[in-house]
């Protein structure tokens, strides 16, 4: 695209980048929060089950990563880059976009995992995010890598197994130093 057109319509390359990213990220986060609200309503006065919390977090991203009409792998590469190696001009923007989500999920997870210290919970959530991004980026490789034992198009099976894996990690006993 012509740099003059970018500046005219978006103000700068950085602003174009922000618009592209948030056009894809906001629907994911909105869906996550809507699903989490539904899970809270189903749970009533009880904590939301850990597997349900994880499903509300994982499913929206994996669904979009698997659907080329919703951005597919291009979206996944974009969001992965900004989560793993954010550009300096994106730091405040990413905090503004993700901090409310982190706050909401932290609250629900502390209820689902009583007694888990917050530092431990944050470490484990970082590992969960890493596993989610890897699974989303490489699900199509699972069939080849497993020599046909795993189907690369098994979207629901991938989510179920990823939720199982992350729930085990989040709920694992704390190791002693």
Task: Evaluate whether residue 145 is within a structural domain.
Answer: yes
Task: Evaluate whether residue 119 is within a structural domain.
Answer: yes
Q: Which of 45-54, 59-68, 80-89, 90-99 has the highest mean pLDDT?
A: 45-54
How many Cβ atoms are within 10 Å of 20's Cβ, its own excluded? Answer: 15
* pLDDT band with cut points at 50, 70 and 90 for residue 91: confident
Task: Evaluate whether residue 140 is within a structural domain.
Answer: yes
**Helix residue ranges, H only, the chain:** 3-10, 13-43, 50-66, 72-84, 91-112, 118-138, 142-145, 155-171
Q: Could you give the number of structural domains in the chain?
A: 1
* Mean pLDDT of the region 140-169: 90
Q: Could you tell me the CATH number of the domain that includes residue 164?
A: 1.10.357.10
Task: Evaluate whether residue 16 is within a structural domain.
Answer: no
Q: What is the pTM of this model?
A: 0.85
Q: What is the Cα 67 distance to its own chain's centre?
A: 15
Task: Evaluate whether residue 112 is within a structural domain.
Answer: yes
> 148: buried, middle or exposed (CB in 10 Å: 19+, 13-18, 0-12)?
exposed
pLDDT for res 51: 98
Give yes or no for residue 81 having a pLDDT over 90. Answer: no
> 119: buried, middle or exposed (CB in 10 Å: 19+, 13-18, 0-12)?
exposed
How many Cβ atoms are within 10 Å of 175's Cβ, its own excluded? Answer: 6
* pLDDT band with cut points at 50, 70 and 90 for residue 24: confident
Give yes or no for residue 2 having a pLDDT over 70. Answer: no
Task: Evaluate whether residue 135 is within a structural domain.
Answer: yes
Structural domain for 34, as ranges: 26-171
Task: Evaluate whether residue 144 is within a structural domain.
Answer: yes
Task: Evaluate whether residue 5 is within a structural domain.
Answer: no
């Amino acid at each position: 695209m012509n740099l003059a057109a970018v500046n005219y319509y978006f103000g700068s390359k950085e602003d174009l980048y922000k618009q592209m990213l948030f056009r894809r990220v906001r629907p994911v986060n909105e869906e996550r929060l809507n699903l989490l609200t539904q899970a809270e309503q189903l749970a009533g006065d009880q904590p939301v089950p850990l597997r349900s919390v994880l499903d509300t977090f994982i499913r929206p991203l994996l669904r979009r990563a698997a659907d080329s009409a919703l951005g597919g792998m291009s979206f996944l590469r974009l969001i992965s880059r900004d989560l793993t190696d954010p550009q300096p001009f994106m730091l405040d923007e990413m905090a503004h976009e993700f901090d409310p989500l982190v706050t909401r999920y932290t609250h629900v997870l502390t209820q689902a995992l009583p007694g888990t210290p917050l530092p431990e919970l944050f470490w484990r959530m970082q590992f969960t995010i890493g596993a989610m991004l890897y699974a989303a980026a490489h699900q199509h490789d699972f069939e080849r890598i497993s020599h046909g034992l795993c189907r690369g198009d098994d979207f629901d099976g991938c989510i179920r197994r990823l939720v199982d894996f992350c729930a085990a990690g989040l709920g694992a006993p704390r190791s002693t130093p």
